[in-house]
Structure 1
Amino acid sequence: MFASAMFDEEHSADVVAASFAGAPDERLRQIMASLVRHAHAFVKDVGLTGEEWAAAVRFLTETGQMCDATRQEFILLSDVLGISMLVETLNNRSVGGSTETTVQGPFHLVASPPRALGDTIDLVGSGEPCLVTGSVTDTAGAPVPGARVDVWQADADGFYDVQRPDTVPAQNLRGLFTADAEGRFWFRTVVPRHYPIPSDGPVGRLLGATGRHPYRAAHIHVEVSAPGVRTLTTHVFVAGSPYLDSDAVFGVKESLVRAFCTVDDPDRAARHGLPNPFRHVDFPIVVRPA
């Protein structure tokens, strides 16, 4: 324990960090001591005033009050500060050619309904029709049969179903697919649009005060899981979408950007139950062993 238990400015972090020395959980003890040291260094570095600290407390209080069953403002805060992406990247570094990961985002709050391969996840019928195909393999190149492929996305207007519950069917643009014996999956949807993250709360006010926009580049969320492999959470981004280089939550990685090509082929459109022409993106996914 630090030699002096008395608080003073010079040794503030040492005194407070020492108070956690008796924590029985070693990892918790490490985290709290480091948190205190970094937080105290920050306060001293910027010369934080009492009024500024009070404003910060109000901001965090309002952030918590904004959370409900379909909105998680604290995840949003973590996202716009880049912390979500940093934690995701530190814990899921690409190995052996595995697909890069990105944030889960604040809208994975509703369980996706199981759907058959080839089904549409678009329950509204508005937007540019799109076919998504892909395969799940491991880092050795072997297919992962029966992999669960969970997808969710915004619509052609840039909204998720939970944002417009009075006008959009529940579980619209969500689906849980099971890959076939060769690890392949495919489904029908619409091309997603770029969209603003919710900006009517404290996180939105923070972005406005700092001159930042709230927009995310257009993307489809994909989460893949199977026995014996690590669950992978990622996106496939629409090439050419605005905000690829300034995504509000820092979620874009170059390897995840794909062309959603226009296909003019009546026979192929008919086979997939799509109007002609339609858009198509192929997104092969490589997962790591557990």
Structure 2
Amino acid sequence: MTKPLPSSDPAALLAAVLQANEGTANPRLKQVMAAVIRHLHALAVEVDLTPDELQVALDFLVAVGQATGPRKHEGILLADILGLATLVQLRSARHALEAGGTEPALVGPFWRANQPVRANGSTICDPATPGPRLRVTGRVTDLQGTPLAGARVETWQASPQGMYENQDPEQVSMNLRGRLETDAEGRFSFVSVRPAGYPVPIDGPCGALLAAQRRKVMRPAHLHFIAAAEGYKVLATQFFDIEDPNAFEDVVFGAVGSLLRRFEPDGEGGFTLHVELKLERGETRLPHCPLP
């Protein structure tokens, strides 16, 4: 039988809810839930949350789930536009960054499982894809600069029209996506097209929130990378076109520090980009892939 609260004081309620959490078997879940409980109660007290406002918030969370499907993960988008995903990535990589590691960036909602395996130097785009060609070269190393041979590199990007292929019926399946393997010197390369910036999806509850906040909805042009090597922490990052008009106003706060790059003209109407992906030793655990 549940014991009655000793009083109607909010502090007594908080203490009772925290006490109910004490039986949680998983220590990490117990720690996280205790913090969630404390912060949610503090938020409700700070803003004097009303029952109607709480219902609006709960309906919003339900709508986030309902808006998630095989083409879009609204929950990831919510974490992105609140800056939470970027914060978690930066916190997770803080020791690597102190040692000169590559800055991380959020995975985002458009990485797909089973991206096609591509040979180094090959193209990742369908021949019909318009736009100036972009040749990308890269190298995967440890924090000391030692090359990592046989590392897995995943890349994906939006088209020059600002759409990922799973959003765009005009693009062939898996266009502008690839999985590569580094050579003995840790190098990889591929040919693509120069990407364009794009708005995040605004046809769901996250779009309604951005509109209510009167925020811009654009992401600057970028390429995604995931690098994985046995015995090293997986790096998820992005490299941004510094000449994009939204380079310093990324709606998901991902364009940080050294990830802003200039796409250099190659003298033939195309561009080049070189990236260094420096990995920290640790457990090799791929992030959750949001799309099939």
Per the normalisation by structure 2, the TM-score is: 0.91
> Residues 233-263 of structure 1, C-alpha deviation per residue, up to 9 Å, x if partnerless?
0011112112222211110112111110111
Name 2:161's counterpart in structure 1. Answer: 157
8 Å CA contact 1:115, 1:177 repeated in 2: yes
Query: Which range is displaced more, 114-123 or 3-12?
Result: 3-12
Name the count of aligned residue pairs.
277
**Residue aligned with 2:69, SS:** coil
Work out whether 1:288 is the aligned partner of 2:280: yes
Name 2:148's counterpart in structure 1. Answer: 144
Query: Whole-Å Cα distance in 2 between the matches of residues 111 and 208 of structure 1?
Result: 35
Work out whether 1:170 is the aligned partner of 2:165: no
Name 1:272's counterpart in structure 2. Answer: none
Query: Whole-Å Cα distance in 2 between the matches of residues 229 and 26 of structure 1?
Result: 25
Matches within 5 A, 1:45-124: 45-93=46-94, 94-123=97-126, 124=128
Could you list the runs of 5+ residues in structure 2 that have no partner in the other structure?
Answer: 283-292
8 Å CA contact 2:155, 2:177 repeated in 1: yes
8 Å CA contact 2:5, 2:13 repeated in 1: no
Could you list the runs of 5+ residues in structure 1 that have no partner in the other structure?
Answer: 265-275
Q: Which amino acid aligns with 1:288?
A: E
**Residue aligned with 2:21, SS:** coil
Query: Whole-Å Cα distance in 2 between the matches of residues 10 and 134 of structure 1?
Result: 55
Given the superposition, is the C-alpha separation of residues 20 and 5 from structure 1 closer, same or farther in structure 2, using an over 3 Å criterion?
Answer: farther
8 Å CA contact 2:132, 2:269 repeated in 1: no
Work out whether 1:132 is the aligned partner of 2:136: yes
Query: Whole-Å Cα distance in 2 between the matches of residues 285 and 26 of structure 1?
Result: 34
Query: Whole-Å Cα distance in 2 between the matches of residues 142 and 15 of structure 1?
Result: 53
Given the superposition, is the C-alpha separation of residues 87 and 5 from structure 1 closer, same or farther in structure 2, using an over 3 Å criterion?
Answer: farther
8 Å CA contact 2:200, 2:219 repeated in 1: yes
Query: Whole-Å Cα distance in 2 between the matches of residues 184 and 75 of structure 1?
Result: 31
Give % identity. Answer: 38
Query: Whole-Å Cα distance in 1 between the matches of residues 207 and 73 of structure 2?
Result: 13
Matches within 5 A, 1:252-263: 252-263=255-266
8 Å CA contact 2:133, 2:192 repeated in 1: yes
**Residue aligned with 2:29, SS:** helix
Query: Which range is displaced more, 134-143 or 199-208?
Result: 134-143
Deviation at 1:109, TM superposition (A): 3.1
8 Å CA contact 2:148, 2:186 repeated in 1: yes
Given the superposition, is the C-alpha separation of residues 171 and 7 from structure 1 closer, same or farther in structure 2, using an over 3 Å criterion?
Answer: farther
Given the superposition, is the C-alpha separation of residues 5 and 177 from structure 1 closer, same or farther in structure 2, using an over 3 Å criterion?
Answer: farther
8 Å CA contact 1:72, 1:106 repeated in 2: yes
**Residue aligned with 1:284, SS:** strand
Name 1:198's counterpart in structure 2. Answer: 201
Deviation at 1:122, TM superposition (A): 1.2
**Residue aligned with 1:34, SS:** helix
Name 1:268's counterpart in structure 2. Answer: none
8 Å CA contact 1:18, 1:33 repeated in 2: no
Query: Whole-Å Cα distance in 1 between the matches of residues 33 and 11 of structure 2?
Result: 19
Q: Which amino acid aligns with 1:78?
A: A
Query: Whole-Å Cα distance in 2 between the matches of residues 3 and 95 of structure 1?
Result: 51
Query: Whole-Å Cα distance in 2 between the matches of residues 38 and 250 of structure 1?
Result: 23
